[in-house]
Amino acid sequence: MPLMETSGRQQMADYRAPVAQTTPWRTLATGLDPELAQAFRVIARCGCFMQAARSLNIKATLLRKQLAQLEAQLQCSLFSHSDKGLALSRDGLQLQAQLIALAHERDLPVIEQPLIRLAVSETILHDILGRDLVSLLRRNASVRLDIISLDSELSLQAITADVVVWLAGTDSPLPGPSFATSEPRRLARLDYLPHIAKRYSRVAARPDCLDDLADFMLVQWQHDCQIESFRAWNSVVDQRLAGVVQLHSYELMLEMIRCSACIGLLPHYMSRFDRALVALPGLFGHPMQRHVWMAVNADSRDEAGVQMIVELIRNTFDERREWFEG
């Protein structure tokens, strides 16, 4: 490109000179719309539009519009961009100081968010719901969420929660929560198969009958020992005199299958969750299955926060429908 060639007309950013103050800043701060004042305070505290929007549980585009509205009202620029993010301008510092003083004088209370209690089977929380719950928290930093991991039928019977997601047999959702709930809804059927890491087992050498398991170490999550539908697998594990590991940690069991050439019983969807793992079908004649159930506390099912969690869970299972079919 010739040295004198231009890259085209560039749009100049609007500039607002510092306001020539005729009205005292305290008077301006007192008369501000509370929503705009709150938006300004959070942006100033976070120094970032995205983080401020999360804290306020609104979209960043709306937050930018609110700031533009406030600057137009005051006829000044309240922030400037720097390498470290947003920085308060001289006028912004003046406004912040007055808003802080007013807040101390009014002793404004923090708006309490309702507590939402979510109880989830440990495997479902780890494999299926975890990522979407993290995404929810990214969008809404003000939510109050109590997540309870269920690792046994006893813990399911002992808890009280707003939303419960648990695993049960294929015949009914029982045993379920001990408190009053809406009618349980079946979310998915899970088929269980032995799994092994691909890197530890060539296709030609993978076991295709129960006798072939003798050459491999077996690993079992202790919670599965009492599952009636896993009787065939549990019988194989119980007969082992060597080459078996029993664990109370689901995550550690997964790690041992990934990294220690162990074979363990996992949901059939696991090869979609972790591409390094492969299922071993055909070892057992009868299917090993469980169903995922969800119920909502009868006393809190109409609350907005509870409905938000219910909708998230439904959408998550709908989006992963192919994990459970076939």
Q: Is the pLDDT of residue 195 over 80?
A: yes
Q: Is the pLDDT of residue 226 over 90?
A: no
Using a pLDDT cut of 90, give the percent of the chain over it.
Answer: 50
Q: Is the pLDDT of residue 211 over 80?
A: yes
Residues of the chain with CATH 3.40.190.10: 115-189+290-324
Q: What is the pLDDT of residues 64-110, one digit of tens each?
A: 999 999 989 888 998 887 777 788 888 888 888 888 887 765 554 55
Q: How far is CA 173 from its chain centroid?
A: 25
Q: What CATH topology corresponds to 25-106? A: Arc Repressor Mutant, subunit A (1.10.10)
Q: Residue 4: pLDDT band by 50, 70, 90 thresholds?
A: very low
Ramachandran sector of residue 47 (left: φ over 0; alpha: ψ -120 to 50; beta: rest): left
pLDDT for 109 equals 54
pTM for the full predicted model:
0.69
The answer to whether 123 and 250 have CB atoms below 8 angstroms apart is yes
- Please tell me the distance from the alpha carbon of residue 167 to that of residue 151, in angstroms, as a whole number: 10
What 3-state DSSP class applies to 56? helix
Q: Where are the alpha helices (DSSP H) in 57-210?
A: 60-74, 90-106, 122-124, 130-139, 153-158
pLDDT for 17 equals 47
Long-range pairs for 52-61: beta carbons < 8 A, 24 or more residues apart = 54/138, 54/139, 54/140, 54/141, 55/141, 55/142, 56/142, 57/139, 57/140, 57/141, 57/142, 57/143
Q: What is the pLDDT of residues 107-131, one digit of tens each?
A: 545 567 889 999 999 999 999 999 9
Q: Is the pLDDT of residue 2 over 50?
A: no
CATH top-level class of 191-288 = alpha beta
CATH number of 115-189+290-324: 3.40.190.10
Q: Which amino acid is at 33?
A: D
| Residue (of 103, 83, 133) closest to 42 by Cα position | 103
